[in-house]
Amino acid sequence: MSQNQSASLDFDEGRYLYCAVRTADDPTLDIEGIEEGEVRIIEHEGIGAVIQPVEAMFDSDDLTKVRRWLLSHQRVVDAAGENFDTPVPFRFDTVIKGDDEQVRGWISEHTAELTGALDELSGCWEYRVELRWDESAVRAEIAEDDEELADLATRIDESSEGTGYLLEKQYEQRLADRLQDRRSDLAESLYDRVAAHAEAIETVGNNTTLLGADGATETDDEFETVVQLSVLAPESSEGPIGDILEEFLDNEGFDVRYTGPWPPYSHAPTIGGDE
């Protein structure tokens, strides 16, 4: 994709895409777009593209400005979600070069893919679940309960400095292994139980964004992420998933973040091409 980057940026007229929705005749959406831009819906064969006429891509080195754009994008998609069935959102700064007819043509070419996505995601929203725990407390608990660790601790106390050092290494390794075991078990358990209520679910791996993303918990707490999930589910699953999370919360030293409903960004398809 990268070889035609610069060329692809040249356009006099374009249509910034917010989301695709199921629409009837002459749909409208009363909301301002990015930078107070005009938002319209271009409809073709029952599929509406929520768009904003643009003459350039949105680009800035100003973090604040970009964040505002992202929030504006989300606001428009939210508005579409309130007026229509689940919108299938486009990635930020996706523009079709050309006029309304070009957009119609694109919809026409990809009706099957768009219909598939709209049907698949219909009635579903994206939820984010993050399970966190007080890892130091879990460590202490494991150290207390594990016989082998207790045995190692005793031997460390009784041994010479050199042997003690090696035993301490063993101790730390076993503790780390046990901690990882418990983390994996919990993550698997949460995943499986939530999956029973989800249309789709995936672990959000090694993602910087969500870790500690909550301003609601103490900044300096000792909680660490056990697992983060992106869940596609109907609103009717909100309660059952919440109940599962409550059970995890009943254990002392656990915390849960449960956010949504968001438009199903993570479950939106790639349309066109082989990639």
Residues 87-126 that bind another protein (CB under 8 A): 88-98, 102, 106, 117, 126
Is 184 among the residues that bind another protein (CB under 8 A)?
A: no
Interface mask toward another protein for 188-217; x: CB under 8 A: ------------------xxxxxxxxxxxx
Burial class (CB in 10 A: 0-12, 13-18, 19+), 88: buried
Of the pair 152, 264, the CB lying nearest another protein is at 264
Name the segment binding another protein (CB under 8 A); options: 64-72, 150-158, 162-170, 192-200.
Answer: 64-72
Q: Is the CB of 110 or the CB of 155 nearer to another protein?
A: 110
User: Which lies closer to another protein via its Cβ, residue 25 or residue 218?
Assistant: 218
Residue 66, interface with another protein (CB under 8 A)?
yes
Q: Which of 13, 38, 45, 59 binds another protein (CB under 8 A)?
A: 59
* Binding segment (CB under 8 A) for another protein, from list 2-10, 140-148, 159-167, 188-196: 2-10
DSSP-assigned states of every residue in 219-248:
TT--EEEEEEEEEEEEGGGHHHHHHHHHHH
Joined tokens for residue 67: 């964040």
For 141-167, the DSSP string reads HHHHH-HHHHHHHHHHHHS-HHHHHHH
β-sheet with 47-54: strand ranges across: 14-22, 47-54, 40-44
Handedness of CA 15, 21, 24, 30 (dihedral sign): negative
Q: Is 261 in the site for another protein (CB under 8 A)?
A: yes
- How many of the chain's residues bind another protein (CB under 8 A)? 92
